[in-house]
Amino acid sequence: MINLLKNNLVAIAAILIAAFALLIFHAMLIPGNLLFSTDDPLGNIVQGKLHFPDAFLGFWFDTPFFGSGAKLTSLSWNSFWIYFLPAVVFKNWFHALNLVCASFFLVLFLRERGLGLPAQILGILTAFWLGSNLTLVYASHYLKYSTIFLAAFVLWTIPRTIRRRSLAWSIVTGSALGLMMLEQQDVAIFIGIFLGAFALFEFIRFEGLKTVPFLLRFTPMIICALLICGPAVLSSYLTIVKATNGPAAAEANESPRQKWDFTTQWSWPPEESIDFIAPGYTGWRSGEPEGPYWGRMGRSAGWETSGQGFMNFKLENHYLGAISLIMVLFAIWAALAKTKSEPPLIPVECPHYRAEIIFWTSATALALLLAFGKYFPLYWLFYQLPVVSSIRNPNKFFHIFQIAMGILAAYGFDMIIRNSLLSSRQKGQIP
């Protein structure tokens, strides 16, 4: 029986993920129920379905009185499901579908790093089933969820591309990156920065600083990504340039300070990080009668003196839990500790844990600092990069922050389990 379970851990994980998703979204199983969200109403989804598949070739949008031309719709992950699923099913289950898929590929990623099933489960709970990555369902933002799923898939394929020296996996990774960029491009760009850093980290560890292997792994990846998303990304970039430098921008007479205030309005206030372990400490969300949000995320510049604009605006919660945070801190301590212990904090059979924990610690810290936005002095330097100044809301870095936290929590929990089992064996408590 034990061997049967060991041989089917991936299937067990998939069943647990699906069961947990049904538990969270169980209300959608009741006939007549519709998932409430502040954005992306059902009518918009129905309208989108009415124009498929014409939207892939361009079409005339006749809802306005005089009509207007509509932009092309890319054949992407979300447009595929909008087309094939009934509108109500898409509305009720698309978030759950993406969270389940993202969880499954993060399980595969952690499994291939050598982590056990309990650690994998804690990792996916922290990464996707708590915090903003779950509670943002209230606002809908379904394109963010498809972006998160594809990011998890790319995270899994990157080590396979590099370690197997496989052209096929390079094509798969590049194609997934391209599809990710067809979803919500601003979130995809932010996540792509960290995925690119992880790909370089993996390559240097496995191949060293070798030019030819680098080109063989990354060139097909980049070409495939550009073939899929290049036209859409170029179109978005030209639109941004036009909006920034065109007549409309001149008429608006927007100063650099006004643009900065607008772009960074949804920056995460550092003091509100207490929400990671104290759910609802600053309120649940804006407009919630039983727990109105009283913090300062989303506050309009100058509100304190003028009273104009938003006092605040937040629709999600960032609770990750004390257990996850303790596991993260243990993983960091184990990787950085200079003292020796018996058994060792980093298991002897897992020497690769140290470098990987250090990488994900760096990614977690950087993502959190960038999520601080205007409250982090060095965000101004990041803001100077091309296109970045046109991407609103630094708190979007929370998506990658939460995934990185999940990975660290999984490492910490796995090490505790391994050390406990080793101590028990040494004491003769288990065979």
68 φ/ψ angles, rounded to the nearest 5 degrees: -160, 155
Please give the structure tokens belonging to residue 100: 């389940």
Among 107, 140, 173, which residue terminates a domain? 140
Among 125, 140, 155, which residue terminates a domain? 140
If asked whether residues 3 and 151 sit together in one domain, one would say no
Say what the pLDDT of residue 395 is. 93
Burial grade of 194 (CB within 10 A; 0-12, 13-18, 19 or more):
buried
If asked whether residues 226 and 99 sit together in one domain, one would say no
Say what the pLDDT of residue 52 is. 62
If asked whether residues 11 and 65 sit together in one domain, one would say yes
- Which sign does the torsion angle of CA 400, 402, 407, 411 carry? positive
Instruction: Classify 39 as helix, strand or coil.
Output: coil
Say what the pLDDT of residue 59 is. 56
Say what the pLDDT of residue 11 is. 87
70 φ/ψ angles, rounded to the nearest 5 degrees: -105, 150
pLDDT mean for each 10 residues of the chain (431 residues):
61 90 94 90 74 60 53 75 89 96 96 93 96 93 95 96 92 95 92 96 92 93 92 72 53 75 92 92 89 91 86 92 96 86 77 93 97 94 88 93 97 92 66 56
183, part of any domain: yes
If asked whether residues 117 and 238 sit together in one domain, one would say no
Burial grade of 401 (CB within 10 A; 0-12, 13-18, 19 or more):
buried
pTM: 0.91
If asked whether residues 19 and 109 sit together in one domain, one would say yes
Say what the pLDDT of residue 302 is. 86
303, part of any domain: no
Angle at alpha carbon of residue 297, lines to 317 and 236, rounded to 5°: 90
255, part of any domain: no
Say what the pLDDT of residue 48 is. 67
260, part of any domain: no
- Domain coverage including residue 353: 267-279+317-431
Say what the pLDDT of residue 55 is. 58
Say what the pLDDT of residue 63 is. 54
> CA 249 to CA 259: how far, in whole Å?
11
If asked whether residues 128 and 189 sit together in one domain, one would say no
Domain count, the chain: 3
135, part of any domain: yes
Nearest to 94 by CA among 158, 154, 44, 157: 44
296, part of any domain: no
Among 78, 112, 140, which residue terminates a domain? 140
Write out the H or E segment, with its range, that includes residue 413.
helix 398-426
If asked whether residues 321 and 391 sit together in one domain, one would say yes
If asked whether residues 180 and 134 sit together in one domain, one would say no
Q: What is the pLDDT of residues 255-300, one digit of tens each?
A: 888 889 989 999 999 999 999 999 889 998 898 888 899 999 999 9
> CA 93 to CA 106: how far, in whole Å?
20
- The answer to whether the beta carbons of residues 117 and 13 sit under 8 Å apart is yes
Please give the structure tokens belonging to residue 191: 């996540």
If asked whether residues 68 and 134 sit together in one domain, one would say yes
Instruction: Classify 68 as helix, strand or coil.
Output: strand
> CA 415 to CA 164: how far, in whole Å?
27
Q: Which residues pair with 292 in a beta bridge?
A: 285
If asked whether residues 13 and 136 sit together in one domain, one would say yes
Q: What is the pLDDT of residues 44-67, one digit of tens each?
A: 777 766 666 665 555 555 555 555
